[in-house]
Amino acid sequence: MFTVCALYHFTRFDDPAALQGPLLDCCRSGAVTGTLLLADEGINGTVAGPRAGIDAVLAHIRALPGCAAIDWKLSTARERPFARMKVRLKREIVTMGQPDVDPRASVGHYVAPADWNALIRSPDVAVIDTRNAYETAIGTFQGAVEPQTDSFRDFPAWWEANRDRFHNKRIAMFCTGGIRCEKSTNWLLGQGVAEVYHLKGGILKYLEETPEDESAWEGDCFVFDGRVSVGHGLREGPHLLCHACRRPILPADRERPEYEHGVSCHHCTTENSENDKARFRERQRQIGLARSRGERHLHADIPEDPAPRKHPAP
């Protein structure tokens, strides 16, 4: 069993590049894999490994400038959800493309999971899912508005086109772990929205703390690792990943005629050209050859489709 740690923190790093090497060394020495992003505005990412390795990485991060109060969320995975460790330098730790957005200056009101249901059931509250369409397709909160964006960069334009729908409404926003809402609530406040709220700790914290029989969540939550989705209690969900388009699919979807492992699924079969599909087939052939030699192919970081899975017992 592997410990999975999702974390983020907005702070000021004067020289993120100087932090990259020591952080990568710490992760590797603890057999920790995953991805961490560093930028002038802070740190974000998800890593997995033995609990001792995760604890060492968290201790290292908490010692970074301004990170002593960093929050994180822990869950487990039966198989290692990442193949390798990457620490990347980025312009933003979550890309919104709005240079004036600064969650360190102001954000919406945090709402604890225990108080979330009461808020979103209020008739004067509009609930907005800030995640992308492929994420909301497998689960969201009851009654939530789904912007159907392809990227978080699209959210500001969506709001501008739809803001009249929310006149005189209080706005409650949520995302996977909370980081997108740090930026989206700051942005809405800058747009003159008077009352903005967001779910503290995101969907993951809600699913961890809220009993299923009291939950307003429907479906599963997409996660950006080899588990693909999680449900209540952060139990691994049933979803797999199409390696061509990286959208979540169910085990039964592999029986559909559009599905070809690593090449297409019912979501993307008409989106890619025959040349694209030929490239994907060659990639899968090379991955198979590397595996037969006991090697790991460069493009084999995404775990292979496992056998159909069921929800493990609580």
Mean pLDDT rounded to a whole number for the chain: 92
One-letter identity of residue 3: T
For residue 262, pLDDT beyond 50: yes
* Per-residue confidence band for 255, with pLDDT thresholds at 50, 70 and 90: very high
Calculate ∠ Cα 174-178-184, nearest 5°: 65
Which of 54, 89, 124 is the C-terminal boundary of a domain? 89
| Whole-number pLDDT of residue 299 | 53
Residue that wins the pLDDT comparison between 103 and 287:
103
Long-range contacts of 269-278 (CB under 8 A, 24+ apart): 271/245, 272/244, 272/245, 277/244
Residue 178 zone, left/alpha/beta (φ > 0; ψ -120 to 50; rest): left
Residue 84 belongs to some domain of the structure? yes
Residue 190 belongs to some domain of the structure? yes
- Which of 224, 300, 298, 209 lies closest to 47, judged by CA? 224
Residue 6 belongs to some domain of the structure? yes
Query: How does strand 221-222 pair with strand 2-10?
Result: unpaired
Same domain flag for 298 and 248: yes
| Whole-number pLDDT of residue 298 | 52
Residue 242 belongs to some domain of the structure? yes
* Per-residue confidence band for 305, with pLDDT thresholds at 50, 70 and 90: very low
Sheet of 2-10: strands edge to edge?
71-77, 2-10, 42-49, 33-39, 85-89
Same domain flag for 83 and 148: no
| Whole-number pLDDT of residue 308 | 33
Structure tokens at 249: 């699919």
For residue 307, pLDDT beyond 50: no
DSSP state letter for 313:
P
Which of 219, 247, 267 is the C-terminal boundary of a domain? 219
DSSP state letter for 26:
H
User: pLDDT tens, 15-43?
Assistant: 999 999 999 999 999 999 999 999 999 99
Residue 212 zone, left/alpha/beta (φ > 0; ψ -120 to 50; rest): alpha
CATH for 186: 3.40.250.10
Express the helix, strand and coil content of the chain in percent, nearest 5 each: 35, 25, 45
Same domain flag for 115 and 213: yes
Same domain flag for 128 and 211: yes
Same domain flag for 120 and 80: no
| Whole-number pLDDT of residue 304 | 36
Same domain flag for 15 and 113: no
Rg of the chain on CA atoms, in Å: 20
Same domain flag for 245 and 213: no
Residue 225 belongs to some domain of the structure? no
Considering the candidates 5, 26, 67, 175, report the single residue annotated as catalytic: 175
For residue 50, pLDDT beyond 70: yes
For residue 277, pLDDT beyond 50: yes
Same domain flag for 116 and 186: yes
| Whole-number pLDDT of residue 289 | 87
Sign, Cα dihedral of 248, 253, 258, 260: positive
User: pLDDT tens, 177-203?
Assistant: 999 999 999 999 999 999 999 999 999
Q: What is the mean pLDDT of residues 144-154?
A: 97
What is the total count of domains within the chain? 3
Give me the percent of the chain exceeding a pLDDT of 70.
Answer: 94
Structure tokens at 179: 């980081």
DSSP 208-277: HHS-GGG--EEE-EE-SSTT-EE-GGG-B-S-EE-TTT--EE-GGGGGSTT-BTTTB-TTTTTTS-HHHH
Identify the domain containing residue 307 by its residue range. Answer: 238-314
CATH for 20: 3.30.70.100
Same domain flag for 113 and 188: yes
* Per-residue confidence band for 291, with pLDDT thresholds at 50, 70 and 90: confident
Whole-angstrom distance between the N-terminal and C-terminal Cα of the chain? Answer: 15
Rounded-to-integer distance, Cα 172 and Cα 247, Å: 26
Residue 103 belongs to some domain of the structure? no
Give me the percent of the chain exceeding a pLDDT of 90.
Answer: 89
Among 111-120, 284-293, 294-303, the minimum mean pLDDT is found in 294-303
175 noted as active-site residue: yes
User: pLDDT tens, 54-101?
Assistant: 999 999 999 999 999 998 999 999 999 998 999 999 999 999 999 999
For residue 311, pLDDT beyond 60: no
Rounded-to-integer distance, Cα 306 and Cα 314, Å: 21
Same domain flag for 10 and 62: yes
User: pLDDT tens, 228-239?
Assistant: 999 999 999 999
Residue 97 belongs to some domain of the structure? no
pTM of the entire predicted model:
0.88
